[in-house]
Structure 1
């Protein structure tokens, strides 16, 4: 009987943890232990169990929601196209004429490629065949596709060949795709080899732009790409949670809030440019 009661209490506690995670976006082990009157070791076991079930992502001191995964690039491009187009227009407005860009794979980044000015003398390097094709169809933009194995899920080329190709470039702007982005965890991704390429490119880029749809903010994926402070500009949706924006701004990240008909820049004191 005692064993069954313990199981029920554990299940109920983990259900409440999931509810708190959904409401607050992050949970910490110490406050949870106090709330449930259990040890921190017990809470850490709860979080480990939830993480193993794919219901949260463990981070230092607690947990955050799991970064979304919505299928292949071809499938994701059809999800929330108006929101992604608004983010893309905001990014395109920040690109200086004559820039060398690297556009990482991603459905929002595909929208960025479709929003770039064709008469600005841009050179775009990408590891995503769909993005390269979109640029070729528009014309007016010099396009370079780096090689390697094409991953069907991400729509990206990565691996040793892509890493070697990427070493040739020093982008003015890296438009970095993110599976998850969190104040504490930074930009994260789901595929190790792809994150390796992302991190290598970030280390050689003058500025790093990241666009985040609302469902990615406050989430984390298994592999680290860059720390929050490395983001030059973070582009968020018009209805992004103000608390999430304040947390990013507090870390010195410059923010651009996108809207369907305009883009308004919001920059914290001492923020990056």
Structure 2
């Protein structure tokens, strides 16, 4: 099999099965695992897959820059935001992550809702400036421009001094095996710091993140209260997560 044919075969496996297991591909094609790993390195270098131990997973389109992410599944993000807002109670304190889905949550918060919003995103804070009944707390630190959020030691330290009833957290990948992931190590650490200060953490995950993976794990499944997604409940990834006890809230 030519290199181009192997490449097409690997990409087809990602679409059909949601993962590539290097040793299985080597056996099926009658080639060495080293050859498969070289092919996967090439695909990963082109941004076409996320390499993991033993193979590869689909890469998340949510790792593109902030401006580009605004055009990715906007309807799905609005649906996820609407379902997330239903969890916010009057008088409660909410930790709201950065990113485009969180921005949709900020826009969806009812104008008459009396609440406290804690965020490390200047974009989120700006979106809520005209919200008459939302008390705003902005956590500062080095701005990670890719997601327009504060990260780093100063931001993590600031997060350790707050408490909230609910945390709505964004990720770039939701995969049964790779878990909840994002593309930057410091951003992943900041997300963990935020989630640790809330009684309940729900993950905001529009359809493009389901079944995808990024490099850095954010949280284990047991540390979240649930996942909010617009994906059909019969989606294979959703069914696997439900089977392992993860609460999945459908965003219609």
Name the CA distance, whole Å, in 2 between partners of 1:137 and 1:148. 24
Q: Tell me the TM-score normalised to structure 2 length.
A: 0.91
Report the counterpart of residue 38 of structure 1 in structure 2: 31
Q: Which residue of the partner structure matches residue 25 of structure 1? A: 18
Work out whether residues 26 and 63 of structure 1, in 8 Å CA contact, stay in contact via their aligned partners in 2: yes
Residue 164 of structure 2 aligns to a residue whose secondary structure is: coil
| Map of 2:138 onto structure 1 | 145
CA shift, 1:95, in A, is 2.0
Which structure has the bigger radius of gyration?
1
* Superposition map of 1:40-55 within 5 A: 40-55=33-48
Corresponding position of 2:51? 58
User: Is 1:224 aligned with 2:213?
Assistant: no
Spell out the pairing of 1:1-273 with structure 2 (5 A cutoff).
Answer: 9-69=2-62, 71-239=64-232, 242-259=235-252
Task: Please give the root-mean-square deviation of Cα atoms over the aligned residues, in Å.
Answer: 2.1
Q: Quick check: 2:167–2:201 contact (8 Å CA) kept in 1?
A: yes
Shift of 1:221: 1.2
Q: Distance in 2 between matches of 1:19 and 1:198?
A: 33
Larger displacement relative to structure 2 (132-141 or 49-58): 49-58
The ranges of structure 1 where at least 4 consecutive aligned residues each deviate by more than 6 angstroms after the TM superposition are none
Once the 2 structures are TM-superposed, how far is the Cα of residue 49 of structure 1 from its aligned partner? 3.0
Instruction: Tell me: higher relative CO, structure 1 or 2? Use CA pairs within 8 A at least 6 residues apart.
Output: 2
Give the distance between the partners of 1:50 and 1:78, measured in 2 at CA.
24
Note if contact 1:211-1:236 (Cα within 8 Å) is conserved in structure 2.
yes
1:223 Cα deviation (Å)? Answer: 1.5
Partner Cα separation in structure 1 for residue 70 and residue 249 of structure 2: 22
For residues 131 and 67 of structure 2, the distance between their equivalents in structure 1, rounded to whole angstroms, comes to 19
- Report if the CA contact (8 A) 2:60-2:212 is conserved: yes
Aligned length: 252
Check the 8 A contact 2:40/2:49 in 1, yes or no. Answer: yes
Distance across 2 between alignment mates of 1:240 and 1:231: 19
CA distance in 2, matches of 1:89, 1:141: 17
CA contact (8 A) 2:94 2:117 kept: yes
Alpha-carbon separation, structure 2, partners of 1:13 and 1:80: 31
Displacement of 1:148 after TM fit?
Answer: 1.4
